[in-house]
Amino acid sequence: EADIYQTPRYLVIGTGKKITLECSQTMGHDKMYWYQQDPGMELHLIHYSYGVNSTEKGDLSSESTVSRIRTEHFPLTLESARPSHTSQYLCASGQGTDTQYFGPGTRLTVL
């Protein structure tokens, strides 16, 4: 089992709130990713990082931001949550071109 953790697992918040979704991995991987996924549907890459102080936007436009100050930590922040942000957010990490290891996901509901 991969050592990648996401908190919280479930979050229900009101519109306009600022939230941070946490992702940590203990495998020393350089590459980390955030995906947005509606249940059972496509994986949409929203952010990725190839190392400390390196972040890039993914293929799906997102109002969220990310930071990579430490190798093991890749938090995602929404400054002002809206109902359209309701989704599952999956964090992943990897090394080189091989396997991506996914966390269990955060299920976000914005009321």
Partner 1 sequence: QQQVKQSPQSLIVQKGGISIINCAYENTAFDYFPWYQQFPGKGPALLIAIRPDVSEKKEGRFTISFNKSAKQFSLHIMDSQPGDSATYFCAANSSASKIIFGSGTRLSIRP
Least distance to partner 1 from the beta carbon of 79, Å?
A: 25
What residue ranges in 4-111 does DSSP mark as E strands? 4-7, 10-13, 19-25, 31-37, 44-51, 54-57, 65-66, 76-78, 87-94, 100-102, 106-110
Q: Which of 39, 61, 70, 84 touches partner 1 (CB under 8 A)?
A: 39
Contact status: 90 vs partner 1 (CB under 8 A): yes
Q: Which of 20, 95, 99, 109 touches partner 1 (CB under 8 A)?
A: 99
Q: Which residues bind partner 1 (CB under 8 A)?
A: 2, 39-43, 45, 48, 58, 90, 92, 94, 96-105
